[in-house]
Structure 1
Amino acid sequence: MQAWVVEKNEQRQIDDLQFIQIATPAPGADELLVKVHSVGLNPVDYKVIEGGVATWHYPHVVGLDVAGEVVAIGTDVSQFTVGERVFYHGDLTRQGGFAEFATPKADVVAKMPADLTYAQAAALLCGAMTAYQAIFRKASLTNRHTALIHAGAGGVGGIAIQLAKLAGLKVLTTVSKRKQAFVTNLHPDFMIDYRTQNVTQVVQQLTAGLGVDLIVNTIGAKAATADLDRLAYNGALVTIDGQPDLRASDYARRGIGVFSVNLGGAHQSKNPQQRQDLAKMATELGNLVVAHKLNPLVERQISFQEIPQGLQAIKAHEVIGKIVANWD
């Protein structure tokens, strides 16, 4: 089969990726063999290429988000049949999905709803599941009324805006002026241009000095630290990339909770309920799309041969929404 691979441990750049012929894998006892139709591209894809993973064996197939068709089943797998359409967020420590075939562990794989396309399914994994986990798995939504979603034009932020609105929250989001036209279609209640406006001051003005009940932060530790002053009493901060500095904060007196999302960590958790929840979250997101309640934000579709260019565009912050690469 053909696959995008890192051939050697020393190769640490997107441009080092090679599109080569390698052996088609056979599924292990607890695995599926999936014929890949579409894959989603994410920042984590180029970050692990640049950083490497100690458990990789070379050549290593990259890529985490896959939508495809079951073509073979491991001997211990009973919940799938050949021909079923499936999608999943993969384990970055194992061989990936930027290939003609992939062999995920069956317990993390979700069955695709009938009306979901492969491209939509591939777009609903790493970023969308991170947003789903932040909104519906981390902080309780009871007695929460307002949310601040950072980077509303991003793969996580754009889904988080929609999910927060579905949960009945008033949504504020940070987004640069040039991306506001895109984010307007997601119907946030207010957009803050973080380049020209003081985010904390605007949040306080819009909430009558109370702060927001929930913040989803995808942009790093510095912003997460500043978010502590943007939270209401009993507020919750959910971080995806970088933790806040709590040393100068009175977060305990204010009842603030700080939560972190590490979506892919479920693969190494050895916790079957958390592993299976990856498939459950994917299923729930897929059902929202086919019910026309969620836009998966597929803004660009490319061929498999163009995957390195897609990753370069993500790294250069040129992408709004999701890039999906298709075999078909």
Structure 2
Amino acid sequence: MQQHQIWQYQTELNSVALGKAAIPLLADNEILVLNKAIGINPVDWKFIQANPLNWPDGHVPGVDGAGVIVQVGTNLDQSLIDRRVAYHASLNRHGSFAECTVLNAGRVMMLPDSLSFELAAALPCPMLTAWQAYEKIPLTSQREVLIVGFGAVNNLLSQILINAGYIVDVVSASLSEERVKKLGIRQLYREQSQLNIKYFAIFDAVSGENSAHLVPQLRANGHIVCIQDRIPAPIDPAFTRTISYHEIALGALHDFGDINDWNALMRNGEALLERVAKGHIDISVPITFKFGQMPEALEHSELKKLKTVITLS
């Protein structure tokens, strides 16, 4: 059986090591993607360090990637071969830290021709998470929303919200005034203690505990959206302000989403990729490393907090 290079998990060291493995046979509805670029996300190095899912030795980490379909299962159309795709893989299966990745055919996004593999690989996790957060709130005449924390997810979320007609304020200690003006953000707060109005919705990317502290800043019938963690129990008494509580967990869709859920998410993802390709969504160019530099890339992502991508020749 053909082999490929992989970065495999080592349980004793909570790290990854370069190795080789056989490319597995495809199920009827699966595709084999030859990776051209691999996206590094915080979830990758966090899970490698802590191993909350009890990965065995040899597991291939990595959730984001982009490449070319080179093989398809027996139930799939051969015309899929050579199509350019990006994907978000399940943490419970062998992922993107490899030359090839096996995926469910319904869980990939077709790429615009003008979008590079490097930029595409940087997008699935933050972009699809931002979209899930955006879909949690209804489009009503109450348009004032607050974003707390400003990493890759909220950079995308702010642009999605502003494009949809929302008035967006942000709490961030690091966001530049120049960036605020460029994105069309109305108000920048450096600390939460500066907040002086109430919002229809708040998107918090800090923690469930922080989200709970933000609930008093909501209007009646408002929405709190936890992008990190969740609020385990309602903060307000019943039948008072009737706040709606939302949690975001993109990876959970692999276990609890059906074919319709994935089809909707992938089509919306493809529409966002088109907007990125046309320059309608502003994305920072990721820092790139070679495939053999995976440990350095993981360290760069963790220490520099910058979007990091592995490129494959």
TM over 0.5: yes
2:189 counterpart residue number: 192
1:278 maps to a residue whose letter is L
User: What is the root-mean-square deviation in Å for CA atoms of aligned residues?
Assistant: 2.1
1:253 paired with 2:240, answer yes
Closer/same/farther in 2, CA of residues 30 and 180 from structure 1, 3 Å limit: same
* Matched residue, 1:203: 195
Question: How do residues 142-291 of structure 1 correspond to structure 2 at under 5 angstroms?
Answer: 142-152=140-150, 154-177=151-174, 179-180=175-176, 183-184=179-180, 185-194=182-191, 199-200=192-193, 202-204=194-196, 209=197, 211-244=198-231, 246=233, 248-250=235-237, 252-269=239-256, 271-291=258-278
What amino acid maps onto 2:164 in structure 1? Answer: A
Give the direction of change, closer, same or farther, for the CA distance of 1:248–1:67 in structure 2 (3 Å limit).
closer
3-state SS, counterpart of residue 60 of structure 1: coil
Does 1:323 find its partner at 2:305? no
Q: CA deviation at 1:248?
A: 4.5
Counterpart-to-counterpart distance in 2, 1:244 and 1:65: 27
* Shift in alpha-carbon separation, 1:56–1:107, aligned structure 2, 3 A: farther
Number of residue equivalences: 309
Q: Which AA in structure 2 matches 1:193?
A: R
The separation in 1 between residues aligned to 2:62 and 2:234, in whole angstroms, is 38
CA distance in 1, matches of 2:238, 2:248: 19
Q: Is contact 1:225-1:246 (8 Å) kept?
A: no
Residue 51 of structure 2 aligns with an amino acid whose one-letter code is G
**Percent identity at matched positions?**
26
Q: 1:226: how far off?
A: 1.3
For 1:49-74, what per-residue CA distance to the aligned partner results, in whole angstroms no more than 9, with x for missing partners? 12325474531111110110011111
Match in the other structure for 1:98 = 97
Deviation readout 1:94-124 (Å, 9 max, x if unpaired) = 0011111111111111111222111221122
1:5 aligns with 8
Kindly indicate whether residue 69 of structure 2 is the aligned counterpart of residue 70 of structure 1. yes
Equivalent position amino acid for 1:180 in 2: S
Q: TM-score normalised to the size of structure 1?
A: 0.87
Question: Structure 2 matches for 1:63-142, cutoff 5 A?
Answer: 63-78=62-77, 81-135=80-134, 137-142=135-140
Distance 1:228 1:157 in 2: 19
Q: Which moved more, 1:92-101 or 1:265-274?
A: 265-274
Change (3 A) 1:114 1:308: same
TM-fit CA distance, 1:306: 2.7
| Structure 2: stretches of 5+ with no match in the other structure | none
Q: Do the aligned partners of residues 79 and 141 (structure 1) sit closer, same or farther apart at CA in structure 2, a change above 3 Å counting?
A: farther
Q: Secondary structure at the residue paired with 2:183?
A: coil
Q: Residues 294 and 239 from structure 1, CA distance in 2 versus in 1: closer, same or farther, beyond 3 angstroms?
A: same
> How far apart are 1:231 and its partner, in Å?
1.2
Note the C-alpha offset of 1:181: 5.4
What is the rounded CA distance, in whole Å, between the counterparts of 2:54 and 2:27 in structure 1?
18
Q: Distance in 1 between matches of 2:51 and 2:177?
A: 36
Q: Structure 2: which amino acid aligns with 1:23?
A: A
Does the CA contact (< 8 Å) of 1:158 and 1:183 recur in 2? Answer: no
Task: Give the drift of 1:311.
Answer: 2.1
The 1:212–1:248 alpha-carbon spacing in structure 2 relative to 1, beyond 3 Å, is: closer
- Counterpart secondary structure, 2:81: coil
C-alpha contact (below 8 Å) 2:9/2:55 kept by paired residues = no
Gap runs ≥5 in structure 1: none
Q: 1:148 to 1:307 in 2, by over 3 A?
A: farther
> Contact 1:124–1:282 at 8 Å: present in 2 too?
no
4+ residue runs over 6 A deviation: none
